[in-house]
Every structure is written in structure tokens, then in C-alpha cells.
Amino acid sequence: MKHTLAFHTALLFAPLFALHAADPLGIPPIPAEGTGRLEYFADKVRAGKPVTIGYIGGSITQGTGASAFGKNYYWRSSRALLRAIKARGGSGAPKAKQAAVGGTNSQYGACRVGVQLLNPGVDLLIVEFAVNDGDNESATLGMEGIVRHAWRVNPKTAIVFLYTTAARLVKDFYMEGKAQPTVLRHHAVATHYGIAEVHTGPTVAEGIKAGTYTSKAFFPDGCHPSDIGHGVYAKLLLDALLPTLDWKAPAGDPPALPAPILNDDLAYADWKRAEPSATTGEWTETKPGYYTYTGGWKATGPASMTIPVKGKKIGLVFCTSKGDIEIKGFGFEKRFNGIRQSPPWKPTVIWVYDGAEHKDGPVTIEVKPAAEGETAVAFEGVMSVCRE
């Protein structure tokens, strides 16, 4: 049995479960033809097996704009989904995980989706990067990498692309009957792989036109949704997903992955803990945190660390630091007067190699006190794309 999860354009107060087959704003033919393999998720729910729902995205998925954590779209939609799963006989305490980092795009997401969600295991993956991605090939590479990585780990993982929006995008595109360019890039990935899609822009525009809410009420800062906006996003996601819990999967395994649109390098992206082969000075081991998923190492004085790395794209991950850092390896040699990222809590990646061939060898990090004599360097791990 074939199912279709169309672009969802229901108004805020439309009946629950209302799915529209066509987009009333005349946006290019977007309903998604695929099901995102949601039927396999539904089968697992009905079988009473424990399931995990993972959300990955930027600050909107993190809950920015909501007056309280319990009012963001992630919390509202995940709690409702978990209740619906339990009502269908699901056992083993279904879980939801939030893997969101503000100000990051889908390529950064592709590098962390494995360590945060896919390696521990998720059965339904909701991906939200439509506002943070740009209108360029990086959007295709990032979203394609997430999809291919997920289905390489578990071909029965259900995937949904959630397309959020912002005040400027609504004004420039949806009010004019167009879709924001990044959404069209994500939609091309969705069409290629048969990914389910939930499109919020048309509904937001309809609500503003109807006077249900103003743009300022929906987007107080121009980008992040208010409680009203988070409520709309949660409702659209739930209206689309709840009916799919009754779908039934066909016999047999899912189809093999098609050839990539661009390339599938990011399907092999990972973020790993640094394992030093040699050190000098004093390094203190740090535990995994919300933004530092594998744990790492901290130096508060002169120190050096050599680590073995491998891949065709290799990056070292640091957090805000005081002190000079010198990195050598693979022909890369550069000195930094501290690593000061913006925002300060988001790890910074320093790419030491990006080439067509895999490299395998050591990279050395040397830490020296800053001019004012302070040293506080947090080395949080290694990002790499390694197909071997």
C-alpha cells in the first residue's frame, strides 16, 4: 500500500489530521511522493517495540522564542507523539531526543547526527534546517548526507523534513505565492529519496493574511517563533504525523539507496573523541556535554597533544579558549591567538585537511599561554569524513 505525506498547509484551527493534497498558494508542485519510510516506524509501534524519535535542527528546534521550554514545538509535538504511541500499545517507554544547535546548518548537522542520534539509535528522524541553510549546494550536501547516513545505519529509519520559516521569508516568498529557495533545495533531496515533508510557510502566510496573528506576533525577533509560532509548527507536524501511525509497511526490505544527487561524503561524516598518541604538559579529560558530544581535553597551561586522524576531510573541534594554539599536520600549519567563536558556546571547527584522497597520520596541537599569561583551551574532538 502506498501512502503520500503531502506538503501540509492546514490553517492553525483546521480540524486535526486535515491533510491537503494541493497547495492553495500555487507553490511549485510539491507534494512529496515518498513516505519517508514512516510505515516502518508505524509497524514497530504496533508491534509494541520501544521506539525513539530524534529531532535535529537549529535554534528553532532548540526552542528559541518560546516563553518556556514546554511551549516550544519540539516539546509539544514530541509529547503528543509519545502519548499517541503509548495509546497504540507501544511499550518500552518510547523516547524523544533533541539534538539542536542554534546558528548551525545541515552540513554541521550531518557531522553530528551520527554521534548524537544515529549511533545511539532513532526510529523517526525529524530534520529542521530550512531557515539556517543557504540557497546553495551546501544545503543539498548537508540534507543528502543526513538521509544517506541514516539509511546506511538503519534502512528502516523514518525521516521527515520540517520546513520552518522567518518573517522576511514569509514576506518575500510566501506572501507572493512562492516557496523560499532553501525549501526548494531541500525538496529536491526529499523527492530524490522519497522523504516525507511538512511545509509551514504557506500556513503562516495564510494566518497573517486572515488576521489570525500578525507577523510580529508570530516572529517577535523576525526569525524565531513565539509561543504562537511554536504552536503552529507543532500542530502542523502532528497533523501530518499522527495519521501515519496507522500505516502498514510492505513486505520485504526498503529499496536500495539511489545514486546521490551530488555526493555522499557527508553520509560518512562523524565526530569522534580525540585519542592522543603522545602528550606533554597537563591535559584534563572532560565529560560529554550538550554541545560537546564525545568529551574531550582541557589544558590550563603549556601543553601539546598528538593525535592520529584519518579521512578525506578532517577538522579539529575547539571551544572558547584563552591562549595561543598552533596546529601542524598534513601540510597545515597555523597559529591562533585563542579560539573565540560566536556564539561562545558553539564549538568551532578548524579544518586541517580537505582533499580528494584519504589521509592517515598525526596532527599535533601545541598550546601556549596568551600574552596576558592565561591559558584555557578546550579540545573537543575530531570531525572527519572517512569512507575507509
In-domain check, residue 154: yes
Q: What pLDDT sits at residue 22?
A: 35
For residue 128, give the C-alpha cell: 529542521
Q: Which of 265, 286, 301 is the last residue of a domain?
A: 265
pLDDT digits (tens, 9 = 90+) for 264-297: 999 999 999 999 999 999 999 999 998 999 999 9
What CA–CA distance (Å, rounded) separates 218 from 388?
47
How is the chain split among helix, strand and coil, in percent rounded to 5?
30, 30, 40
In-domain check, residue 313: yes
In-domain check, residue 223: yes
Same domain, yes or no: 230 and 328? no
Q: What pLDDT sits at residue 90?
A: 64
CATH of the domain at 76: 3.40.50.1110
Max CA pair span of the chain: 68
Q: What is the pTM of this model?
A: 0.90
Domain span at 335? 273-385
Instruction: Give residue 92's pLDDT band: very low, low, confident or very high (50, 70, 90).
Output: low
What is the average pLDDT across 110-132?
Answer: 97
* Residue 213 in this model has a pLDDT that exceeds 90: yes
- Provide Rg for the chain, Cα atoms: 22
Same domain, yes or no: 94 and 65? yes
Same domain, yes or no: 86 and 171? yes
Q: Give me the number of domains the chain comprises.
A: 2
pLDDT digits (tens, 9 = 90+) for 160-169: 999 999 999 9
Q: What pLDDT sits at residue 52?
A: 96
What is the average pLDDT across 311-321?
Answer: 91
Q: DSSP 3-state assignment of 382?
A: strand
What CA–CA distance (Å, rounded) separates 222 from 215?
8
Q: What pLDDT sits at residue 30?
A: 38
Instruction: Give residue 116's pLDDT band: very low, low, confident or very high (50, 70, 90).
Output: very high
pLDDT digits (tens, 9 = 90+) for 174-212: 999 889 999 999 999 999 999 999 999 999 999 999 999
Same domain, yes or no: 253 and 285? no
What CA–CA distance (Å, rounded) separates 364 from 290?
26
